[in-house]
Structure formats: C-alpha cells, structure tokens
Amino acid sequence: MKILVTGAAGFLGCRLIHSLLAGGPGVRRVSTVIAADTSRSPIEDPRVDCRVGTIVDGNFVDSLLDADVHVVYHLAAVLSGQSEAEFDTGMRVNVEGTRGLLEACRARGTAPRFVFSSTVAVFGGDLPPVVPETLALRPQTSYGVGKAIAELLVGEYSRRGFIDGVACRLATVTVRPGKPNSALSSFVSGVIREPLAGIDAVCPVPLDTPIWVSSPRTVTANLLHAGTMDTAKLGDNRSLNLPGISVSAGELLASLERVAGPEVRARVRVERDDRVARAMCGWPAALDATRALSLGFTADASVDGIVQEYIKDSTKGLRS
C-alpha cells in the first residue's frame, strides 16, 4: 500500500510515518510512504519517498498523487500563532492548500481515504462545559476558521464520492519534544518539557484555564485508526471529536510536581500573555468524544501518565 503524508517532517508526521512503517495490529502493510513537506523528512528508510515543496504549489501537489495512493494523511498546516500573525499565509496554506490537495484526489478518481488533522479551535463563542460534535462551529481565531472551512470541504468531497474523508479534531498534543513552535498552545508542552530539562518556563495563562490534551502516542494511534476504520459508520458527519483529557494549567503543573518533584515545578512561573490567554480561554474545555470512543478511538488514562510517557520516551531518546 502507498500512503501520502503531508507535514511529514513535523513532529506528528514523523511519529505517524514511524508507526506506519512499523506495522502492527490494525495497520496495513505499507510499501511506500510519500513524505511531503517544505523540508526533507529525517526518516531514513527505503520505503520513504521524500518530496520537498509546498501544498500551495499545484504542480507539486499533482506530483504527489497517483492511482496507487490509497490513504492521504493531511497534517500540513500553518499553526495558530502564525495564522493570527500572517492572515494571508494561513488562509493560503490551510484553506487553499487543502482545497488543492482535495482537487488532486478528485482528479485521480480513486476516492482515497483522506484523514484530515483538525482542531478544537473550530469551536468558539459561548461554549458548554463539554462540547458536542453537533455544536455550530464559531471559531474565534484565523487558525480555527481555516480548519473549519477545511472540515466542511472534507465533508463535501466525501459526500460527492471524491474522497473517503475523516476529519479528526485533535486535542492539544502534549508533551511535544524539541523546541517551541508557533502554536498558541505551545506552552502546554513547554511547561513540562523545559523544567524537566532544567530550564525555566513561563505559563502564559491563569492556572484555572482548562485545556483539552492528549499524548503524542494516543494521537498517533488515533490517526492510524482513522486511516483504517469503517467509515460507513460515520454516516453523513465526517468530523469527529477525538478523545482527550480536560485539565487546568494548574493541574498540569501539579502533575509535573507529582511525577518529577517540587524543584522541577518551581522552574515554572505564571506571566499572563493576553494574546495566548484570549485564544486558550476561547477554546473548549472538553469535547464529547462518545462517538469516537464507540468507533474504536482511544483516550489517555491520566495526565500523570502523559507526563511519565514523555519522561520515558526522552530517556530512550525517542524525540520524534
């Protein structure tokens, strides 16, 4: 089987490709992974076909797809912070780039599985404590608007039979290794990752700010499942609230203290950043993931488990 992954050089893209190549229960045998991104994928494997370019380039996108591509994982995106700072760039990549990729799938006439990484930021406004899938989308950031538009496109292209789409609304992925990225939620990983490395960190939101989170391992497993699940069970709603854990920023830091000790927790100070706080307070505190769980998607057991998983992977040198 041939699979296309956009955003392949990123953190989630690398984890997803490693898992696809490793196989295992529920993962089909992969012959080739086309790894597309603006920089070369760091994964060295003869089954990985690296392509460097941008999804806003129609010729590049056309070169990625042929009739043998059975599954497309569309992870490429301009993240929330950059989308707010660079409106045109965000819309060009997150909306026009996604539409171009969908059109390329349509032109092949093979209706590949199309797994789209969406976000909790498609919701906004006056939110209930637990947000159902059926709540009207009222995003309050440019990033959320772009993702909401793309979700509608995935649903429409699926309705027309051009693709077999699944839009996965991901929780904030924590703990991400490496350096901070341009996501407004980047601090959620930073307040765990940096103190564990002996570096001071800043929490830019009030400690009672609720955050919907999921571990890299669980998110990767759920993306894999979206690529193989029986989509007939989705009906006409192709967008899924994926499982997560609702924790406050304070509870996240309390977990850090329980797992790593008070001296590590003491490396984090709270300094409100209004731009980040406004965005995070406008995102859901929790999603109703009942349907996703019934369809075989999974959730993390606890926030302590997420922190412990990161420490374990860091000790093993698993940075991607």
CA–CA dist 309, 305 (Å, integer): 6
**143 carries an active-site annotation:** yes
177-211: string of b/e by CB count within 10 Å (b at 16+)?
Answer: eeeebebbbbbbbbbbbbbbeeeebebbbeeebbb
**CA 242: distance to chain centroid?**
10
Only one residue has tokens 């996703």, namely 292
Cis, peptide link before residue 175, omega less than 30° from 0:
yes
Out of 73, 143, 157, 310, pick the active-site residue.
Answer: 143
**CA 119: distance to chain centroid?**
7
Dihedral angle sign, alpha carbons of residues 42, 104, 181, 198: negative
DSSP 185-214: TTHHHHHHHHHHTT--EEE-S-TT-EEEEE
Maximum distance among all Cα pairs of the chain, rounded to whole angstroms: 58
Q: Which residues are catalytic?
A: 143
